Chains A and B, each alone.
Chain A
């Protein structure tokens, strides 16, 4: 067989959570690696690909797990030039270009393309290390570097260690008759008893207290039959839990859930896209909720029915709704929606830093074409949207 028909050699293979596209030259091997657990089917890669090598498939079914062994996107390894534009612009960090096995983004290194510029910060001074943002974040992007206490796991750190405080326990030796009750109640107290002896019958000894085990609960003081114990705790002004809460910028998608739910207003998020999303619930057939299931930001919801007692003709809840404040305009919902004109996305700006090259500008223009879904597509097996305006 002639060399020319053997090289370059293209292949695609699926391995667990990754799909690996490959171009093999005589010496050089280029790969585009898709992480299917991170991919949300937003379709930004397919819009930005300078070679039109990426198409979108069964976004809803794949994301819901109804279709296995298939990814939401598919890349033609022969059309792909392994340039890395998709990798740079994927908001979900799902794509990676590798050359000869090593991560490689020459286009970025040679300053041929900008990257997203966004803010995702937590003001350490305002943050009280509560659990709200980390539970609300739909992407698990909150890094909560805080000791795990016994409230969360049985063998976690003792709760008294969470406070910056001084605790004192004073035993009035005059009153203490070394009865042993306090020590039997609390692990912070021990009794050093002078051994009983027939020579001198009586109860004597001393109470020993370990501050690190005391949580100032006052049980010993209350239980002491002689009122011999006084416990006091002074907490240091502004005491907070130890550790730090931060946002992992690789994972963060700027949905701003954390900012909206933070009780201390400690979070600042600036999104990477400007624009608007509009839901036209009248066109939604209901009973689908694919968009709700696949939204990477949990921004879409099924509105709660009005209780019968308040039910009026015009108070029937819409079939579907979005909280636009939480939306990042990624476009996954439009790609997955099986109906027409229910969801409209209009991106009006992309926040980037770095050289805004002509290539970038032409790609940005494509990203800013407003779109909705359509029912009947021209090509079977791939998502086609309806450009608006």
Chain B
């Protein structure tokens, strides 16, 4: 029986409404408890900030395209020197696409304990799981891609909802996936022909279904399956001036849908990296922020959640299932481009990108993310991400926190820009003096994300009975005034406890933990049509056989944690 008592810290737990009160957190056998015996190991957190373990809702940390990014960017390793093995730590390196070990250590240093891999090509699920298995410490899960999958396009076009849900259930089970991810609905399939769907009404070649129908169908399927997380969407027309209209059209699709689950999730649609989808203007010359418009709509619609995708102003690597977007990007910046089309299912692309402070477009992108987060009314529905590594590496989360919490820090960035006036002119950020509180940051990074992912009641808070994931940061909210201290403290947790086990002790990683991988096993009515279609599709169109497709827990996963749902009830 392990007992731990974290004493005297300033506790921030939006789940319980605790806002910086000095409180002790007691842990016993991996969960938070009311109290512990006098034999408990005591951690003195006086003068420090205590929060639940961070929960990242969207990050590209494992699988095929991440690894292509690592492979084709050896120069990325030069930006961050390889750290040799030390203690329990393996050798670790890489900057924007770090190795699996570095990924785990950096998340741990930031006090994060759970990370959602944002895009898993079903056919390459084994790759994703092998990398997650080799990523220590952090609990993970992966979202398989559905928005360009031939089965889905076919079933949704024909209005066969029972077949769509039976197929999704089969695919989640086969790939050990967690929920429904949709990237550039229809557009990536069109990209297999060199085309794209730029609005929600552009039909997909051959399938004759529109992105609008795909999104509506996937939301309906998600709720019919009672999944813990909602549809996780990256909409059409990413990264183009004027795309906020497409984004509003897309968000409106969710109107009229109701969440249907027992996991405490309230949204039916999570729109990811919304910063990239909130652009005004018609070209890069008259490019401007429409963050206020988009955030206004989200504020008014409780069925929605979003994460931002903050631009961190770094040299980074973009990687997404949005194949046509990546091609568009390489045509803009002339840097190397990788592309993979995955049979029957999806596609992807990878291009390095430099978000330079000296380029006004990058400056405006930086402003839009912050502007949106500062205009958000409910940070339980608006989350901190960088779409790692697309808008910047996840290791910059503490820097983003600094910007969110300090107008002075933002002004310093503005002042360092070559075209400060132009950047200020194109968004409302300069006129916003709001500074987020640690309480709001805790919403954006643990309470809110855990709830949206369906981990509410288990993760994201410090309520007795919850999994004992606790981070202690060397930050005194009562005395600290230097914004730089925010960035430093949230990059260097003093203590981190995961499932009751001490991972970081006095700033030193002392354990590789006991990571788990979540997946969702949802039971549906059997569909002979889907069974028939699967055998037909594997026989005719897949290069692998149906029997060789499934990810077996035993070989590919470490500590699988199955979330069983009966959707036939």
Contact = CB atoms under 8 A, between A and B. Distances in A.
Interface of A: 308-309, 311-313, 315-316
A308 B208 contact: no
B526 interface: no
Interface of B: 190, 193-195, 205-208
B207 A308 contact: no
Contacts of B205: 308-309, 311
B208 A309 contact: no
Contacts of A312: 206, 208
Nearest to A316: B206
A39 B190 CA distance: 48
Contact of B193 (A308, A315, A316): A308
11 contacts: A308-B190, A308-B193, A308-B194, A308-B195, A308-B206, A312-B206, A312-B208, A313-B207, A313-B208, A315-B206, A316-B206
A308 B196 CA distance: 11
A312 B207 CA distance: 7
Nearest to B154: A313
Closest A-B pairs by Cβ, 7 of them: A308-B193, A311-B205, A311-B206, A308-B205, A313-B208, A312-B208, A308-B195
A308 B204 CA distance: 9
A212 B253 CA distance: 81
Chain A: interface secondary structure? helix
Contacts of B190: 308
A315 B208 CA distance: 11
A355 B205 CA distance: 61
A313 B195 contact: no
Name the residue among A309, A311, A312 with the largest chain B CB count within 10 angstroms.
Answer: A311
B204 to A, nearest CB: 9
A309 B207 contact: no
**Chain B CB within 10 A, most for which of A308, A309, A312:** A308
Main secondary structure of the interface of B (DSSP, over half): loop
Contacts of A313: 206-208
Nearest to B206: A311
B244 to A, nearest CB: 27
A122 to B, nearest CB: 46
Given A308-B190, A312-B208, 15 more contacts: A308-B193, A308-B194, A308-B195, A308-B205, A308-B206, A309-B193, A309-B195, A309-B205, A311-B193, A312-B206, A313-B206, A313-B207, A313-B208, A315-B206, A316-B206
Contacts of A309: 193, 195, 205
Nearest to A315: B206
Contacts of B195: 308-309
A311 B205 CA distance: 5
A171 B252 CA distance: 85
A309 to B, nearest CB: 6
Contacts of A316: 206
A158 B388 CA distance: 74
A311 B194 CA distance: 13
Interface centre among B193, B194, B206, B207 (most CB of A within 10 A): B206
Nearest to A313: B208
B233 to A, nearest CB: 24
Nearest to B203: A312
B187 to A, nearest CB: 13
A305 to B, nearest CB: 11
B206 to A, nearest CB: 4
A316 B206 CA distance: 8
Nearest to A314: B208
A309 B193 CA distance: 8
Contacts of B207: 313
A308 B191 CA distance: 10
A182 to B, nearest CB: 56
Contacts of B193: 308-309, 311
Nearest to A310: B205
A270 B211 CA distance: 55
A308 B190 CA distance: 8
A6 B197 CA distance: 82
Contacts of A311: 193, 205-206
Nearest to B207: A313
Q: Which of B193, B205, B208 has the most CB of A within 10 A?
A: B205
Contacts of A315: 206
A306 to B, nearest CB: 9
Nearest to B194: A308
Contacts of A308: 190, 193-195, 205-206
A327 B208 CA distance: 36
Contacts of B208: 312-313
B305 to A, nearest CB: 35
A314 to B, nearest CB: 9
A309 B190 CA distance: 9
A309 B205 CA distance: 6
Nearest to A308: B193
A313 B207 CA distance: 6
A315 B205 CA distance: 11
A315 B190 CA distance: 16
A311 B190 CA distance: 11
A316 B208 CA distance: 13
A166 B194 CA distance: 59
Contacts of B194: 308
A97 B75 CA distance: 81
A312 B157 CA distance: 12
A311 B208 CA distance: 8
Nearest to A312: B208
A286 to B, nearest CB: 12
A331 to B, nearest CB: 32
B480 to A, nearest CB: 58
Nearest to B190: A308
A82 to B, nearest CB: 53
A313 B158 CA distance: 12
A46 to B, nearest CB: 38
A308 to B, nearest CB: 3
B91 to A, nearest CB: 46
A308 B206 CA distance: 7
Nearest to B195: A308
A311 B209 CA distance: 12
Nearest to B193: A308
B12 to A, nearest CB: 53
A311 B192 CA distance: 13
A230 B447 CA distance: 97
A313 B208 CA distance: 7
Nearest to B192: A308
A311 to B, nearest CB: 4
Contacts of B206: 308, 311-313, 315-316
A347 B298 CA distance: 72
A108 B205 CA distance: 62
A54 B561 CA distance: 74
A312 B205 CA distance: 6
A228 B208 CA distance: 72
A315 B203 CA distance: 15
A312 B209 CA distance: 10
A148 B190 CA distance: 52
Nearest to B204: A311
A130 B205 CA distance: 43
A256 to B, nearest CB: 36
A71 to B, nearest CB: 38
A315 B206 CA distance: 8
B176 to A, nearest CB: 33
B406 to A, nearest CB: 50
B318 to A, nearest CB: 25
A309 B195 CA distance: 8
B564 to A, nearest CB: 37
B334 to A, nearest CB: 26
A137 B306 CA distance: 67
A323 to B, nearest CB: 26
A317 to B, nearest CB: 12
